[in-house]
Structure formats: C-alpha cells, structure tokens
Amino acid sequence: MPEGAAVPRLAWRWLAAGVVALAVLPWYGVEGFFGALTGGGRALWPALAQPFDGHGWVALCLVPLLVAGFAIALRRPFLLAGAALGGISWMVLEGLAITHKGWAWPGLAGWFGDLGAQPAMGWGALGYAVACLMLLSIALALRGWLRGDVFVLGAILLVAATVVLFVFLPLMQVLGSAVRDEAGQFAPWVFLAKLGDRSIWGVACVTGGTACGSAWNSLWLAVVVGGLTTVLGLAFALVSARTRFFAPGVLQVMGLLPVITPPFVIGLALILMFGRAGFVSAFLANNFGIPRTRWLYGVPGIAIAQVLAFTPIAFMVLQGVLRGVAPSLEEAAQTLRAGRWHALRTVTWPLIRPGVANAFLIGFIESLADFGNPLILGGNFTVLSTDIFFAVVGAAHDQGRAAVLSIVLLVFTLAAFMAQRLWVGEGRYTTVTGKGDSGQPPPLPRGVAWACHGVVLPWILLTAVVYFLILAGGFVTAIGRNNTPTLSHFLTVFGVDHGVGGWFLSGSGWDSFITTLELAAIAMPVTAGLGLLTAWLLARQSFPGRGSFEFLTMLSFAVPGTVIGISYILAFNVPPVELTGTGTILVICFVFRNMPVGIRAGLASLAQIDRSLDEASLTLRANSFRTLRLVILPIIRPAIVTAMVYSFVRAVTAVSAVIFLTTAQYNLATVYIVGRADIGEYGIALVYSAVLILTLIGVLAGIRLVVGEQRIGRRALVVTS
C-alpha cells in the first residue's frame, strides 16, 4: 500500500475526483450508451447546479466531501470513514426516497411538501459513489484493516458494491414484486394465490387429464435431461480418455460446437428433420407409409434438443475429471489383483463422483434455464422459462406472475446445488500432488468399452447430421423439399449493395450482428478483469465476511438466465438506476452472468501458485497492486484467456436473459434468430446461425493459435485385450 505521505495524497486525489463528479459530470442519466457530453440542457447539469432546477437535495452531497477534507487534513481516519459512509448513505437515501413520481413514501409530503420528479442517476452519481468508496477504503487502511492495504480494501468494496447492485438487489426485486399487487402495495395473499395456481402445480397428466403444471414439467424434464447428458457425457469421456478412439479430433469438435452454438438452433434443425414437413418424415411417409405426426413437438423434441446441446458440456467436464485421476491409484488396484471392472467400480468411480455430480448439475440447470428449445419445440407442453417469458411479453403482461414463476425456478436450481453438495459430501478427492505420476490408466472392461462405443458412434452421426443442416440449410431454397443451392437467404441477412452514396450494408441482420459483437467485446475484458480480481481476493486475502462475499459473487451462476432477465427489468426499469433500453444493461448482464466462470478459472490457476511468490514480492517492498500486476497476472495468463474467451462466446450466444432486455436499437443476434424461426423463416435463421458459428470458430482458432495448449506429460494409453 502507499506509505507515509502517499496515503494523504491518494485521499486528496479521490476527494478531488468526488468534487469533479459533483461540479462537472451530469448528475442525472443521459440517453445513449455512454451519454452525450454536449447539448442536452438541464439533463447535463452537475449536482452543484441542480438546486437551480429544483433538486436542491442533490447539492447536499457536497457536505460529506467537505467533512472528508477536514478529516484528511487532520489525519482523522474515523471521521473520514464516517464522511464517506455519510456520502454514500445520503445518495442512496435521496435516490430511493424521491422517485420519478415524487416522494416514494407519501407520508413525507406532509413534512417536506410536494416535490417534482427525480430522474435516474447518471455519470456524476457514479463518479461520486466510487470516490466515496475509495475514501472509505483509505480510512479503513489508516485504521489498520487488512494490514493497511488500500488496494485490497478498495477492490473488496468495489466488487462487493457492484455485485450487490447488479446481482443481489435485482433478485430482491423479484422477491418483492411477487408479494405486491398491481397497485404496488404489499399483498402476500396475492403471492400465495399465484403460487398455488394450477397452471404451475397441476397434476392432471397423472390423474387422467391432458397436462401437468409447468413446475412439474420443468422439474422432471430437467431430471431426465440431466441424467441422460451425464450418462452420455461419461460414455464420451471414457471413450476419449480410456480407449484409443480412431478419431479423437471428432470428440474434441463435439466438445467445442455446443459452446459456440445458440442453444435453440439444434431444435430448429430437428424440426427440419422430424417435423411434419421434415425431410426424414417425408422420406418415411413416401417410402414406408408411416404417417406424418407432431410427435416432435412436446417432451420428445425438447428432450432430444437439450440432450444434443448439453451432452458435450458434460463430456468436457467429465473428460477433465478422468484425466485428473492419478493412474497410479488404478495401477495399484490391479497390482493387488483387482479386475478391470472391480477397479473401475471401487477406485475410478468414487474419485470421479464430484465430476459426475457437476455434470448432472450443469445439465439440470441448463435444462431449467433453456428458453429457445421449449419455445420452438414446446407445442402444448409448458415449462417455467417460457411461462415467464409470456407473462412479461404476452397479452396479460403480469409481472407479478413472472416474479412468482422466477422464484419457483430459482428454488429448483438452489435445491439442485444443495443436493449436489450432499451427494458429494465432505470427502477429499485429491489425486494430483507435487509428486511425479507416470502411471498408466488401465483399459476399460470389454463390456463397458463396447457399450460406450455403441452409444458414442450413433450419437456422433446424429450430431453430424444436425450440424450439417445448421451449416448448409441456409444455402438451399428449402432444405428437404427444394435443395436447389441459393444465396438468397444469405443476401437477405448479410447483403451488401451499392447506392448513390457508395457501398452500404443492406442485409437485415447486419445491425444485430455488429451490435452483438460490439457489446460482447466491451463485456469481455470487464468480465475477465472483475472475475480474476475477485478470484485473487478469495484465494489470497482473508477478511471478515469472506464466505458471504464468495456466495454473492457466485450467485449469478446458480440463477437461471430467465430469472436474471426478469430481475433486471424489475430493478432497472425506473429511477434511481434506470438502464432498460440501453446497451449498458446488456453489457452489465453479460458481465455478471459470466463473471463466475472467470472466478473459477482464476481460483483454479491461483491454487497452483505457491504463496511464497507473493511473499517474496511483498518482502521486496512491492505493494499488492504491483505484485498482482507483475507477478500473478503473467502466471495466470491461461486463466485470463479462458475467462475472456468464455465471456465473449457466451455473450454472443446468450438468449434467455437478454431477450427481455433488447430493443430495436440494441437488438442481438440470438433474438433475431429466434424471431425469424418463430415466423417460419428457417432458411434465414439457419444462415445467420451458420455465420455466427463460423465467426466464433475463427475467433477461438485464432486465440488458440496465439496462446497454445498446455499439456501434462504422461505415458500413452496402451490397450490390451
């Protein structure tokens, strides 16, 4: 940390930043992504000028800064902390108490009179809040907190504040909206009535009726999909790690494709194959007399699409787990005369239990959160994610119902997390230590190997056909019915024409394509930086409330994307923080939705770095910031790349959360594809998907070429009969 006179100098700088935020930057929000800095009249007035516009309470934010100045001059850290907290508290209080309609609590009008509307907070408020947070961290450092490290304290406060604002508070808005009536009044009976609705919990499909409630539909579909993806993923992982498969590159491509494919596009390909007008259905009807039916629409279609989409993710998880099992343990079992099956059951299986639990959890949560496939293939089969969507955008427009459904969905996902922890238990599963391990994993039992190959080969064939349809279906007139090659779909989406002013982008998909790449590129470094900074705090620092801090940072991973979208609408649709309709809210959604992956990647990398490196840097009088920048970051470069790549790809392919947040100005690629598919323009949807997939493949290939691949040296597998 800065020492001696450096701390007061740093405090004066942040104090000056706070004054600039009050005196120069616009206090209230401005239209646009970053806001215009010229024009706009009163919309651009800073806080100190707001009394002339009837917002005199805003200028009182200057008082805490004046007190902070005295505290810095007199070296009074306790007074400085009080001033910083007072500034933040006053800003929060006046933002919540005075809304866009006047007083939030009518009783205050009798005390202070009627007030005009207060717009949403803008860049001045943001700068003032950050300055107060940094002054608070300096005050705590002067009082000896965390060994007086200003950087660590500032990082903790900044990360905690952003996570509370953009993760915790939106979820609280969902809970609050569920127990309010249409007039905004507290009405728990309304919540109970909506929660007990038969459309959510009905069991008519069991008692002889036509359909069950969406909660039961979602739950049992998620269990089936989670189980199937885990079993299939394990079969793929065993074939990849424990056999000499003839085409290992095919398995790696299998693991890559679902990550870069919008999740609902597979459902679209299935319609072209097995729908009433699909070419497989037509072939069976014309040649074997099998009538065309709508069997695909409902549980079978959704389950097949989700299993196709999520099995490769389970494969990647379980492949890494199997390769992490020390072969010497299995060799030891064979040395003790254990057979292949016995070693697999008593040694390998217990060691991969956490990976199996994680694979099931991922499949379960992805199925619950999936929105696109149920929307396209659901038919009369309703699930929570689509019910939430129609509660918001449908004719009823019932946000209270959407909030209730979101709570049910959130309870299911959190229950899955708890069940996973109970099943895995508190046991230790470490097999890789500092000692060398050149053991050779034993081959699979012959029956298991044959069973795995019997599952893997047909699945690869089906997946290849599906992705061929996705990549080629947009370049024929109507795949399966009229396979004449054409570029009409491509030119409709990505056409370039020449006019009076020169060449211009005439395709209908260019705006959404460019907007998606721009917003994903903006979110990428922020996601990686915030995630890795949080990982460093969790791995290298001990501070009060660390457990709660970690829970908050990982909360967005457990929350389905549909719930995230609803929570952002409820939290940021009106002042004091009004972001809906802007690109900012999309970037924020990308950042905090994908940040947990950066945290986990950083924690995994930091766990491999001895703390003595940090200690050596600190011994040489380098502060925490220099140690992080010059020692830690160069070593965890692979984790940085992983976090950036994942955040970029997931931002480009996201749909369930952002479909609620897009506008005509900020439309996204996935929303464009869903809209085209929903009105039957399958060729346009497929050609857009193909371009998106090929673009992401190019980006990932370029990154892999630059970064390379880390390998662990072990003896090659020798398969014996």
Q: What is the pLDDT of residue 276?
A: 86
Token code pair at residue 663: 């506008």
DSSP element (H, E) containing 499: strand 496-499
DSSP designation for 121: B
Q: Does domain 200-429+448-472 have CATH number 1.10.3720.10?
A: yes
User: Which part of the chain has CATH 1.10.3720.10?
Assistant: 200-429+448-472, 505-707
Torsion of CA 708, 712, 716, 719, to 10 degrees: -100
For the chain, first and last CA: distance in Å?
Answer: 63
DSSP secondary structure string, 656-717? Answer: TTGGGT--STT--HHHHHHHHHHTT-HHHHHHHHHHHHHHHHHHHHHHHHHH-------PPP
Record the pTM: 0.83
* Rounded distance between C-alpha atoms, residue 718 and residue 721, angstroms: 10
Name the CATH superfamily housing domain 505-707. MetI-like (1.10.3720.10)
CA dist., res. 686 & res. 470, Å (int): 6
3-state secondary structure of 28: strand
Q: What's the rounded Cα separation, in Å, for the pair 129 and 127?
A: 6
Consecutive H or E run containing 496: strand 496-499
User: In this predicted structure, what is the pLDDT of residue 296?
Assistant: 92
CA distances, 320 to each of 105, 242, 258, 599 (Å): 55, 12, 17, 18
**Cα 344–Cα 347–Cα 349 angle in degrees, nearest 5:** 65
- pLDDT value for 637: 77
Q: Residue 217: what are its φ and ψ, rounded to 5°?
A: -60, -50
Distances (CA, A) of 656 to 67, 237, 370, 522, 692: 47, 29, 7, 20, 17
With tokens 């009976």, the residue in question is 189
Q: Which amino acid is at 226?
A: G
CA distance 261 to 517: 15
Average pLDDT of each block of 10 consecutive residues along the chain (721 residues)? 66 96 87 44 81 88 96 94 96 87 72 75 93 96 89 94 93 87 80 89 80 91 94 88 77 74 84 87 88 90 91 80 66 61 67 79 86 88 90 77 89 81 54 48 77 87 87 86 89 89 89 94 91 89 85 78 87 89 92 84 72 77 82 78 82 88 91 88 92 87 60 47 40
CB atoms within 10 A of CB 168: 16
Alpha helices in 607-656 (DSSP H): 611-619, 624-627, 633-635, 637-653
